[in-house]
Amino acid sequence: MRKIKVQMLTREGFAPYGKVLALDDIEPAGGNPATHMWYPQVSIVDRATSLNWMEIFPREFTAQKFEAHDHTAENLIPMTGGMIVTCMPAGALDVDKLAAFYIPQGKGVSFDPGVWHFVPYPIGEPVKVAVIFANGTSSNDIYFDELPEEVGLEL
């Protein structure tokens, strides 16, 4: 079985697939240090937006199935633990362009429209994930494809 190495999440490494959602290097745009800091428009969804929750369960670290959306970015934020995402650039599936990233709790990713991805892999226990995209995406802007064979993920 072919394998790919899971990468640590960086803005540069994830750039071909979308944006990293993190406060590490973003200056706040306001707020009150006694109660909160405000970071607006970390990721913009340009249609009516839905906030969805997903709980992901441990499974074998192999990738074969993928999904994509033509008209919206998909934002994933792990709320209760770390997870791994797999992705490929828009276009035809190409195992040579497959990448995997570790997303720690407190950060997230925003897949650009057309980028291939699938249900993330939790590290250890089940993980609750916030999923934010245009309303109706999971019923009217989703398509699936598969690689000819599974690819293993190396931690």
Q: Quickly list DSSP for the chain.
A: --EEEEEEP-HHHHTTTEEEE-STT-----EETTTEE----SS---S-EEEEEEEE----SEEEEEEE-SS--EEEEESSS-EEEEEE-SSS--GGG-EEEEE-TT-EEEEPTT-EE---EESSS-EEEEEEEETTHHHHS-EEEEEEEEEEEE-
* Residue % of the chain over a pLDDT of 70: 92
24-54 confidence digits (pLDDT tens): 777 777 777 777 666 666 666 656 888 888 8
Distances from the Cα of 30 to the Cα of 8, 26, 34, 36, 110, angstroms: 30, 12, 12, 9, 23
Amino acid residing at 93: L
What is the per-residue pLDDT across 110-150, written as a single tens digit (0 to 9) for each? 999 999 999 999 999 999 998 998 888 888 999 999 999 99
pTM over 0.85: no
**All domains of the chain in start order, with CATH:** 3-24+47-136 (2.60.120.480)
